[in-house]
Amino acid sequence: MNSNQFPIHIKAIVIDLDGTLLDTAPDLAEAASRMAAELSLPPIALDTIKTYIGNGVSRLVKRVLTREMDAEPDAALFAKALPVYEKHYAAVVSRESRPFPGVVDGLEGMKNLGFRLACITNKAEKFTVPLLKDTGLYDYFELILSGDSLPRRKPDPLPLQHACEFFGISPSDLLLIGDSLNDTQAARAAGCHVFCVPYGYNRGRSVEELDLDAVVPSLQAAIGLIQES
């Protein structure tokens, strides 16, 4: 569904969390560094951690343990590491995480134009809610879906389908704004429009490579490409 004509007509907007709304990499990396130290693993750089973000905490921990994108660590080591990571991440979840430039103005503009807003992330609810509240973004959203809210998460289309049902709209009336392959795959599978920001965590690759309707430099810039239907 490549939209060659703008503005596209939509009723609701779903926005990803990590790498789209919030720069969470410093806190994710700090937790990873603390976990690595506690487990006597080699240290790991922030730039490397950024390429590991986007598929939930479990996959992030596996990548830190193996230093590979898709490898499976020793099961016993992973079982030991996951609660260690979650302990450290809970301690620093919003210590340095902040909205990216244009996020707050973008959310304000979208609300003022009458768009209904949801946040859909693969992050667990126990981290999602404190992050959104601590950074002042929680009240912008009518619907917040975390990685453990439904039986399946992005790139599965289920969260977007759930959002359509919640808002009472068809998929063609929904726009997803994200930063990664997970987001574009979910949107295409659901039949939704999709924009990506270029500053997020797409495993170190350019979002220009993805199947999307537009690359927008900020949430605020996205407003110029949409119209309330």
Catalytic residues: 16
SS (H, E, C) the chain: CCCCCCCEEECEEEECCECCCEECHHHHHHHHHHHHHHCCCCCCCHHHHHHHCCCCHHHHHHHHHHCCCCCCCCHHHHHHHHHHHHHHHHHHCCCCCEECCCHHHHHHHHHHCCCEEEEECCCCHHHHHHHHHHCCCHHHCCEEECCCCCCCCCCCCHHHHHHHHHHCCCHHHEEEEECCHHHHHHHHHHCCEEEECCCCCCCCCCHHHCCCCEECCCHHHHHHHEEEC
